[in-house]
Amino acid sequence: MKTSEIFINSAFKENSVWKQILGICSALAVTNLMLNSLIMGLGVIFSLALSNFTISLIRNYTPRSVRMMVQTLIIAAYVIIVDIFLKAYMPDISKQLGPYVGLIITNCILMGRAEAFASQNKPFESMIDGIGAGFGYTLVLLAISFIRELFGFGSVFGIRVFGSWWTNWSIMVMAPSAFFLLAMMIWIINTRYYKLKG
Amino acid sequence: MKDSFLYPILFMLILVVIFVGVLAVMYRSSEARILAYNTDVYQKIVLRLLSPAISQATGKSMDEINQAYPEAYALYVQEIKPEGLDRRAFKAVDSDSTLAYCFEIGGKGLWGTMKALISTTTDLQTLVDFAIVNQMETPGLGARIEEDWFLGQFRNRQMVLYPENKDDVTASYEFIAESQTPEHDRQLRRVTGATITSDSVIRMLKNEINHIFAFARDHEL
């Protein structure tokens, strides 16, 4: 499979959120602001790419009985490395991220891609798959957070879009809005896009 | 070989040693830098909270004082360690006279503990300013307690409701919805979608202010 095909496949055709229903918890939790979603997405892309690469690199030596422990260890290590690096060299961004970095460890997409792709394919392809899956996840986060931030705060990326006449929709700031927006998104894509594709 | 009993154990052990080693080296090499940054941030908050009192005494603007960090901190701020007070405390000084106090306070939030700093007048009856130092609340919801509109509600509030009755130091603040306009000065706007966190802040302030005021009643600061 070509590199571009791997990317398109993991980012769109087999999108982790709308096709595989993975990473839902964080997709619900962090989508109230677009900046939060973007930062979370970048963290996931970085961790996914590197953990996929490493898991693939040692796949022929990894005993099957402990493979999930190995994958968890590698994912956790990369996430902690990102966390330490940000705290030391980008402290302001680290403060903005808050607990998001730690949340990446619990993201099902990382384990999902490690198990489904990285443990069976070559390192470079696995890294591309990780970048693609992270990109697809980030797109979903940004789409939901765009609607939530716009109607919940009247802004986009913190920049005020609606004037003072706008009354913020409190429901959009709260968790239930993420539930129904995500459900609608999954429904629309799965009933329209995939039906058209046959 | 991969199917043997020892291989998975040894493989896991080697992997753990490698990754823990990398993390330990990375953490130790960054520790001083992280600590220095955290100290700077903490001291800047202390100076900012004490700057209104310093400004009043020296005639300098608050911006001027804050921009002069770390020199201004060294000149005007002293850490005090009153015997029996189990938290960090600071005072703003100018020509040996105490201008204001700053205390580190803590409490429980929704997901974990919160750490904050409050500055008070020398009689401990007015809360001059308030800042959150550390919190683990939900970003975008509970974490919005760090926003200025929320913190600003606590500025220049009387901490002790009835100074003539030293036993009654409970502030009776009342929370209303974020979108509502306060009808009287004891009403504070709660962060939308963060009821527990907003309540935790007021509970932390009440408990800690009580504690400090009760301490100061019996001890010298």
- Summarised one tens digit per residue, pLDDT across range A147-183 is 999 999 999 998 998 988 888 888 888 878 888 899 9
Question: What is the DSSP code (8-state) at residue A169?
Answer: -
The span from the CA of B70 to the CA of A137, in Å, is: 43
Chain B residues within 8 A of A87 when measuring between CB atoms:
30, 34, 37
Cβ pair A91:B37 closer than 8 A:
yes
A193 vs chain B: nearest CA distance in angstroms? 32
Q: In this structure, what token pair is assigned to residue A155?
A: 């802004």
Q: Report the residue from A63, A69, A85 with minimal CB separation from B7.
A: A63
Residue of B nearest to A96 (CA): B139
Query: What are the structure tokens assigned to A196, written together?
Result: 């058209």
Contacts of A98 in chain B (CB under 8 A): 136, 139, 143
Distance CA A75, CA A107 (A): 10
> Would you place residue B165 in the very low, low, confident or very high pLDDT band (cuts 50, 70, 90)?
low
What confidence score (pLDDT) does residue A15 get?
85
- The pLDDT of residue A20 is 82
Task: Give yes or no for residue B32 having a pLDDT over 90.
Answer: yes
Quick check: A81 and B23 CB within 8 A? yes
DSSP string, B173-210: -EEE-TTSPPSSTTEEEPPTT-HHHHHHHHHHHHHHHH
Q: What is the ipTM of this complex?
A: 0.77
pLDDT of residue A52: 95
H or E segment and range at residue B158:
strand B157-158
Q: How far apart are CA B208 and CA B106, in angstroms?
A: 7
pLDDT at B172: 64
**Residue A194: its pLDDT value, please?**
66
Mean pLDDT to the nearest integer, A5-24: 86
Q: Supply the pLDDT for residue A193.
A: 72
Q: How confident is the model at residue B66 (pLDDT cuts 50, 70, 90)?
A: very high
**Structure-token pair, residue B220:** 């010298």
Give the range among A161-165, B41-45, B158-162 with minimum mean pLDDT. B158-162
Cα A194 from Cα A188, distance rounded (Å): 9
Tell me the pLDDT of chain A averaged across its residues: 87
pLDDT of residue B171: 53
More confident residue, B65 or A98: B65
DSSP result, B70-113: THHHHHHEEEE--TT--S-EEEEEETTEEEEEEEEEEEE-SSSE
Query: SS3 of A61, please?
Result: coil
CB-CB neighbors (< 8 A) of A29 in chain B = 138
Task: Please give the residue of chain A at the shortest CA–CA distance from B1.
Answer: A63
Q: Specify the pLDDT at position B72.
A: 94
Pairwise CB contact (< 8 Å): A170 & B193: yes
| Residues making up chain A, counted from first to last | 198
pLDDT-above-90 percentage for chain A: 38
* Helix pair angle (A34-57, A67-89), 10° resolution: 130
What average pLDDT does range B32-49 have in this prediction?
95
B115 and B133 in contact (C-beta within 8 Å)? Answer: yes
Average pLDDT, chain B: 87
Quick one: chain A helix, strand, coil %, rounded to 5?
75, 0, 25
Residue B130 pairs with which residues in a beta bridge? B118
Q: For residue A29, is pLDDT > 50?
A: yes
Cβ–Cβ below 8 Å for A73 and B15? yes
On chain B, the residues whose CB falls within 8 A of the CB of A66 are 8, 11-12
CA distance A57 to A51: 10
Residue B98 — φ and ψ, nearest 5°?
A: -80, 130
Interchain pair B136, A81: CB under 8 A: no
How many CB contacts within 8 angstroms connect chain A with chain B?
A: 81
- Which of the four pLDDT bands, split at 50, 70 and 90, describes residue B14? very high
CA–CA dist A129, A20 (Å, integer): 15
3-state secondary structure of B126: strand
Contacts of B77 (CB under 8 A, 6+ apart): B43, B46, B47, B50, B90, B91, B92, B93, B102
Please say whether the dihedral angle defined by the alpha carbons of residues B28, B34, B38 and B39, taken in this order, is positive or negative. Answer: positive
Q: Which residue of A has its CA nearest to B30?
A: A88
Judged by DSSP in three states, B120 sits in strand
Residue type for position A40: M
pLDDT confidence tier of residue B169, bands split at 50, 70 and 90? very low
What is the reported pLDDT for A22? 84
For chain A, say whether B17 makes contact (Cβ under 8 Å): no
Token pair belonging to A141? 């986060």
Least Cα separation, residue A155 to chain B (angstroms): 13
Percent of chain B with pLDDT over 70: 93
Does this model's pTM top 0.90? My answer is no
pLDDT of residue B164: 59
Q: In chain B, positions 99-158, which contact chain A (CB-CB < 8 Å)? A: 111, 136, 138-141, 143
pLDDT for position A197:
60
- pLDDT: which is higher, A65 or B17: B17
Residue B188's DSSP bridge partners are B175
Provide CB contacts within 8 A for B220, sequence distance 6+.
B82
CB A153 within 8 A of CB A34: no
pLDDT on residue A65:
87
Nearest to residue A48, comparing CAs of A95, A92, A108? A108
Residue A71 burial by Cβ neighbours in a 10 Å radius (0-12, 13-18, 19+): buried
B161: pLDDT confidence band, cut at 50, 70 and 90?
low
pLDDT of the residue at A71 = 93
Q: Of B23-27, B110-114, B136-140, B164-168, which gets the smallest average pLDDT?
A: B164-168
Per CB-CB distance under 8 Å, the chain A contacts of B141 are: 32, 173-174
CA distance from start to end of chain B:
70
Contact A36 B23 (CB under 8 A): no
Whether B33 and chain A come into contact, CB under 8 Å, resolves to yes
Work out whether the CA dihedral A46, A52, A57, A58 comes out positive or negative.
positive
Task: Output the DSSP codes for A153-167.
Answer: HSEETTEE-S-TTPP
* pLDDT for the residue numbered B157: 81
Which chain B residue lies closest to A68 (C-alpha atoms)?
Answer: B12
